[in-house]
A and B are shown apart, each in its own frame.
Chain A
Amino acid sequence: MSTPTRPRKRVALVIGAGSVKCAAALGLWKVLKREGIAVDMVVGCSGGSLYAALMALGFDAEGSEALTHSLWNRDVTKRRDYASMLGAFLPKLFRFRGHFGMVHGEPLLNALRRGFGDRTFADTVLPLYVVATELVSGQQATLSSGRILDAVRASIAIPYIWSPWEVNGKLMLDGCLSAPLPVDVAIKEGADVILAMGFESPYPRRIRSATSYAFHVNSIYTNNLFRANYSFHNLAHHADILPIVPDFGEPVNLFDTHKFAHVIACGAQAAEEHVPYLRQLLAEPASPGTPSAATPATSR
């Protein structure tokens, strides 16, 4: 059998967990488009799954930004789910469901409906992988079929805040519990060059409510898992992983939606720094002994 040749390196864009910060991926997306660098797959986790899905569905950066503003605002988290909380704290009286969330899921679901409707993974123009975590087994779950809305809702089911979401008969929680920056999915799916946009969560200065306490605790283990996984993925990958970690210059918290423009600009800036090296990588042959030089296809 002859050595299989590949015309060019397969590029994956991985967008990690990071709530509002994930919008920085739109800045990166703009830079890639401008440079004509094609992406072969997108992988998203938690807040990152929102942008990964929009990109995979063919939205451009501007369209995604506009949609972001309508999807992500305080209305989504304002309504408390008192029934769920009563069930959790007085399980005998109000019957505990096996899980709970302090925030009512309906406004979030309505927002996601506005963005994704009934579109499925089959409707994407780029392969899309959304990472969630199975509640019962704790296993990382990579979702790549069915309704995008379900996958994204599962992937952003922040523990204690939103209740888990059922996909394929299994309850799923936030992907950040198993893979805050799911580079492993791109490795497994055959990517060569991996653009990994990851975020560490800031810790609030004051913890003034049960929800901010829950966020804080989530941030601690997500940050730790992020670092540990990333070092393993680096060792395990055969080619380049480019960590694109925007510097926002200030803490960006869950509801800092007024900072979207700033966040996107920081994402673009972080991407710019990687362009020369990325160009060089893509110009090299895809594999040793494969002569074909890379000609990046025009991005979609």
Chain B
Amino acid sequence: MSDATEDAATEELVCEGRRERLGDLLAFVDRACARAALDPDVAFDVRLATEEAVTNVIEHGYAGGPAPGPIALRFHHDARQVVVTIDDLAPPFDPTAIRPADPSAPLEQRRIGGLGWHFVTRVMDDVRHEHRHPRGNRLTLVKRLGATD
């Protein structure tokens, strides 16, 4: 089911959006960061944002449906920036607009709506969400290189 391809500076992994594939998705990001020879701090931020974002798709995007759909994770790297793109076929869902769902729920039981999403926006320089036609979402995470933070 997974299919990794590689060209000059863009790599892609497509897999099922279920918890069991989180390991593959994270391993893919780790390898891509290593190949790009990213500074460890930058690699940390990229991995963190990617983990939180794909977890979001798995646990929210596909949670309501009968079966999980695919996730396409793309890693692009050039001299100026790292761009991680996450495509899914889940119902329209804008994590940039979500609020903590249930403020009375214990924090450790709440999902990315709170903490995880906070991390994504804190560690990346630019975060964009768009609806794709005819369905699905695209999330674009940008980390600029050489920026102070």
Contacts and interface: CB of A to CB of B under 8 A. Distances in A.
Contact-size category for A:
under 10
Contacts of A232: 107
A236 B107 CA distance: 7
Contacts of B103: 231
A236 B105 CA distance: 11
B106 interface: yes
A86 to B, nearest CB: 33
6 contacts: A231-B103, A232-B107, A235-B106, A235-B107, A235-B110, A236-B107
Interface string B104-145: 001100100000000000000000000000000000000000
Interface in B61-92: none
A231 B107 CA distance: 10
Interface in A197-252: 231-232, 235-236
A231 B102 CA distance: 12
B116 to A, nearest CB: 15
Interface of B: 103, 106-107, 110
B118 to A, nearest CB: 11
Contacts of B106: 235
Nearest to B105: A235
Contacts of A236: 107
Contacts of B107: 232, 235-236
A232 B106 CA distance: 10
A231 B99 CA distance: 14
Contacts of A231: 103
A235 B104 CA distance: 8
Contacts of A235: 106-107, 110
Contacts of B110: 235
B106 to A, nearest CB: 6
Taking each of A231, A232, A235, A236, which has the highest tally of chain B beta carbons within 10 Å of its own beta carbon? A235
A218 B91 CA distance: 42
A235 B106 CA distance: 6
A31 B110 CA distance: 37
B138 to A, nearest CB: 30
Nearest to A231: B103
A231 B115 CA distance: 13
A187 to B, nearest CB: 13
A239 to B, nearest CB: 13
A125 to B, nearest CB: 35
Ranked 4 nearest A-B pairs via Cβ: A235-B107, A236-B107, A231-B103, A235-B106
Nearest to A238: B106
A236 B114 CA distance: 13
A241 to B, nearest CB: 13
A263 B25 CA distance: 58
